[in-house]
Structure 1
């Protein structure tokens, strides 16, 4: 059993250190127990690149409910930090970070015009171009439902 130290994680680098020292699950549990989870989700929605980059670790440690919150936060970040979000989106359609989950989420659909505009400004280079195209496709499909 993992001993959980209930101490507030103040920064993305502290979270990353907790993941390295323990596990993603223990680090996420620490975020939740310390009351930092809502602040982290707000940071992601606001486009905080340091927290967005840690989305794979957050997803690996999250339960279903927290995973859904992470998906929604990333979808909300698309208009503000499209390159950062696309860098962590899973093109293999994972349940939390999958391109269809993030780009088809209600938060992305609600801001579809802003998301399209932000994505259109990104260059079509390498993996970002492919992910961008998939994201635009998923957004269009979700918006037409």
Structure 2
């Protein structure tokens, strides 16, 4: 008889490196415009009309302000993942030759048990009416 033992082991070392860079660029540009308009009457006796409102003998000044915001925000994300996983597999086989001697003979106690079992079965068969009370 030959006995073969196979042993397989696996060693796994996980090493994952993750580098993440977040870069935010902000470009800010604000443009401001200011316009000032002065309304002066040519004749002080006559009223002047500015934007639907009537004024008499008055200097009217209107100021317009305009602001333009050109801000830009740029997000850049750089991710770098490095997998340095090492897997080592080790397999080992060993074979052994084993010599077994078997005695296949039927000895005295085996015959004794066989006859006792047959005798018990025969006894139950003959006394079946009294044991199981069959009418």
TM range (shorter): under 0.3
| TM-score, normalization by structure 1 | 0.15
More strand by share: 2
Question: Which has more radius of gyration?
Answer: 2
Task: Identify the structure with bigger relative contact order (alpha carbons < 8 Å, sequence gap 6+).
Answer: 2
- Taking structure 2 as the reference length, the TM-score comes to 0.16
